[in-house]
Structure 1
């Protein structure tokens, strides 16, 4: 298949997979909440967070596999070497999985006490979810193999299949049962189906044997595990920041509050995925410009993507804060809204994360991420300590404030500052041009929405969508006029003509 066709398929399926994944998640949350109840759903989320944190056991194997296969897949005589890469990575993951399983079988006997869930009898559920996690853990290697073969469209198809299967299985399951343990088994079966499909995809692409114990190579394992220590530190820090909140809340407050908190956070998580696409998709262009040593173009791109990311955040955060109660009520039903104070802090975290993520993409693309990796570890430790201290004093608000304060003390200022330093951008100019302009934009838009809120009543979905659409048009006009200068407006048009428009033509 021609590379241009593969690229087009990758672009189309990426867009579809994001939409399908988001819609499936939006549909699944109320199904689980309404059928399991707040308490059982809270337990489900807490255990899911525990196993989500165990992804650090990957040790960067997945990324290394993608890179090694990508470097060797276009050469005819390298099929045997690729088999060794896949086999070594697979059997290493299996060995890690066995160790994780044995450790968690022991932990399962004490899980109720550790999580302050005495009397809930979660041991069997814990083990089933552990098995489900391990299947997905090994599956992630196969997903990285597809990416290494430059078959990103197949990886996206797997995401689409998985999202649809999860939605259908949840809907069908609750027609017959509300047993949380049986639900965990259904999730495990779904994971097995996706796992098998991924093997079929790889088998069709590979010319020889995919996996062989004879192809396992200890020397190659060192090559696979070698670099990536700083990316690993960033990954570990991210897991601590985003996967410990549910565990802390269950321990100190109770499982029921986790369901309410997760519902509020889920919207923020969806917004993050949408916003991060802006800088993530520009990564190859940054790398190409860096190869040409065109720092001037990278500077211009950085200012534009910073503005676009923050502008998107400003709109989504303000709309979510003012209409969060209506969004949650329409989505999940009344009685599931956690409070405006927590929503406000989550929105502030969203805005900060958009800016730091954008700066981080440029730092990583230029291979200058050593300092930010160490800082990420400090932030994660601070976040954990502050959350544990504050949760005892002010409850759920303390957990999210712990995340916000830790970020403000570390990455919120250092990451964009360090990015400016690397690119030779005057930080004072950056602050005025990017941050200050968006503060003015946010103030004006907040006043507009505040006035609107006094006169409108949103109680159905179509009113909510109409409100978002109407205000989005107004916001676009405001942001285009306030946030961008003439040169940046010209650059935006150029990026649209070169990057976005051709993709629509291909479609």
Structure 2
């Protein structure tokens, strides 16, 4: 079989840009994943597996704040891509400026409310951890809320980068943030005793520093024509962003409930050590989807561009070739599952034991989720997301009760099974939708 990866996406001008993003992202993401893998044993050297599990759960809780952007950044991605395609830089500058303004207007009051609520929750009982951690948990949550608010503001840059179809650059930001975290935690292991607060500073502050530096650089050079300015804030643009953004908002809530609640549910049912097991297995198996996710990320703005120009031939060709990439991902998942007992020991030693059943169930989930992601990225690029806003209510309504029910009977495996079942339903519906769109047979809600 003569398989050449560099040929898999064809050779049009749009595809050439995709290839450049993919080639750069593979290198950058490779370093990023390596640093992420190194971060696990280094963190377990700094704090024990219980504290690591608590940290993972707390950081998941704060991610819930993300959905308060009402999908504006995802709406911006599509609208800004359209503006750049038509070289309407004045509209682009207005969209970017208004989005930054709205991030401040939304997240400052939301963060204040969240911080006021923190002292009134019994965190040790909720997370199934000893009460001696209560004070540290509250301090870490205050820090995470502050850092998350700042990061959400500067994260608009990632959306702008995606609209310019320079997604490799966004991968660079993430990689540099992880390398900085790695350096800071290494310093902490040599200079300070184990601390959740120290861990929060090292991991949460790093990406903000990177985004601030690159915002300054890019908005005075490559992105100067659409750099944010208070003079270009136009509240009339909010409606345009909101009309598309509110649909993404509903989808975002579901994503957070379906994925970010998992750590909380597992911690509540089985304790923080089980959270560590789940996350380490997830990071390990995520290696198999690295290149796949690198390709998916630039597909969103590329499909927006292609759909705006009604280039169905290109979209159909890419979809067929991405199905081939997916088959390679499946093979990678199977190999990693088979080798997991040996590679876990090589990676984290005897610091923590990962049950094979968790790895197997997560592998099945990732196989289903990866197929679903392919459909969703293309549908999001086209902008036909009305059906998605209804379908994701399945996860929004049923995941937590189903995960609690199955989790109480089967532990961590039950929680993973809940996510798998819901993603399987999504996959069937969204595969039908994207095929209808690509074959010009999408009518009514299938094309809205």
Is 1:14 matched with 2:25?
A: yes
Shift of 1:8: 7.7
Give the drift of 1:282: 5.2
1:256 counterpart = 2:268:
no
Higher relative contact order (CA 8 A, sep 6+): 2
Per the alignment, do residues 222 and 158 of structure 1 end up closer, same or farther by CA in structure 2, a change over 3 Å counting? same
Q: Distance in 1 between matches of 2:171 and 2:68?
A: 24
Q: 2:334 aligns with which of 318, 321, 331?
A: 318
Question: How far apart are 1:191 and its partner, in Å?
Answer: 3.6
Q: 1:100 aligns with which of 110, 120, 132?
A: 110
Q: Is the 8 A contact 2:303 2:378 kept in 1?
A: yes
Measured in 1, the distance between the counterparts of 2:428 and 2:83 equals 40
Contact 1:22 1:270 in 2 (8 A): yes
Task: Measure the CA separation in 2 of the matches of 1:367 and 1:73.
Answer: 16
Contact kept in structure 1, 2:46 and 2:188, CA below 8 Å: no
Worse-superposed segment, 369-378 or 61-70: 61-70
1:90 paired with 2:100, answer yes
Give the corresponding residue for 1:56: 67
Give the CA deviation at 1:43.
0.6
Task: Determine the structure 1 residue equivalent to 2:394.
Answer: 378
Contact 1:33 1:259 in 2 (8 A): no
CA contact (8 A) 1:97 1:134 kept: yes
CA distance in 2 between partners of 1:282 and 1:326 (Å)? 35
SS in 1 for 2:191: coil
Cα deviation code 1:182-210 (max 9, x no counterpart) = 23223344244213202312332265895
**CA shift digits 1:483-506 (9 cap, x unpaired):** xxxxxxxxxxxxxxxxxxxxxxxx
Partner of 1:479: none
Where do residues 201-212 of structure 1 align in structure 2 (5 Å cutoff)?
201-205=217-221, 211-212=228-229
Structure having the higher Rg: 1
- TM-score with structure 2 setting the length: 0.82
- Counterparts of 1:150 and 1:306, CA distance in 2: 22
Number of the residue aligned with 2:262? 245
Deviations 1:72-118 (A, max 9, x none): 56999955x65544443223212222123212212321251443443
Residue 29 (structure 1) aligned to one of 15, 22, 40: 40
- In 2, distance between residues paired with 1:362 and 1:74? 18
Whether the aligned pair in 2 keeps the contact of 1:299 and 1:425 (CA below 8 Å) is: no
Structure 1, 289-298 or 172-181: larger mean CA deviation: 289-298
Gaps of 5+ in 1: 427-507
2:191 matched to 1:179? no
Residues of 2 paired with 1:323 and 1:289: CA distance?
Answer: 40
Structure 2 unmatched ranges of 5 or more? 1-13, 442-448
State which drifts further: 349-358 or 277-286. 277-286
- Residues 391, 397 of structure 1: 8 Å contact kept: yes
Task: Tell me how far 1:18 sits from its aligned partner.
Answer: 1.4
Contact 1:359 1:419 in 2 (8 A): yes
SS at match of 1:228: helix
**Does 258-267 or 181-190 show the bigger shift?**
181-190
1:328 and 2:344 correspond = yes
The aligned counterpart of 1:197 is 213
Q: Does the C-alpha gap of structure 1 residues 84 and 52 become closer, same or farther in structure 2, counting only changes over 3 Å?
A: same
Query: How far does the alpha carbon of each residue in 1:129-167 deviate from its partner, in whole angstroms, 9 at most, with x for none?
Result: 211211211111133234445655543442332222122
1:119 paired with 2:132, answer: yes
| CA displacement 1:266-293 (0-9 Å, x = unmatched) | 1233333432345555557766765676
CA distance in 1, matches of 2:16, 2:295: 23
Aligned positions of 1:456-471 closer than 5 A: none
Is residue 130 from structure 1 mapped to residue 145 from structure 2 by the alignment? Answer: yes
Aligned to 2:265, the other structure's residue is in SS state helix
**After alignment, is 235-244 or 182-191 more displaced?**
182-191
Q: CA deviation at 1:384?
A: 1.9
Could you list the per-position Cα deviations for residues 40-62 of structure 1 after superposition, in whole angstroms to 9, with x for gaps in the alignment?
10110001111223211122222
Which residue in 2 is equivalent to 1:447?
none
Q: Could you report, residue by residue, the CA deviation over 1:323-363 in whole angstroms, capped at 9, with x for unpaired residues?
A: 21112111111252331222221111122122222233444
Aligned counterpart in structure 1 of residue 322 of structure 2, from 305, 311, 316: 305
Whether the 8 Å contact between 1:283 and 1:362 is mirrored in structure 2 is yes
1:343 aligns with 2:359: yes
Q: Give me the CA root mean square deviation.
A: 3.4
The answer on whether the counterparts of 1:341 and 1:397 sit within 8 Å (CA) in structure 2 is yes
Please give the residue correspondences for 1:278-427 in structure 2 after superposition, counting only pairs within 5 Å: 278-281=295-298, 298-299=315-316, 301-313=318-330, 315-334=331-350, 336-408=352-424, 410-423=425-438
Equivalent residue for 2:54? 43
CA distance in structure 1 between the partners assigned to 2:437 and 2:214 by the alignment: 40
Q: 1:150 to 1:355 in 2, by over 3 A?
A: closer
2:62–2:148 CA contact under 8 A, matched in 1: yes
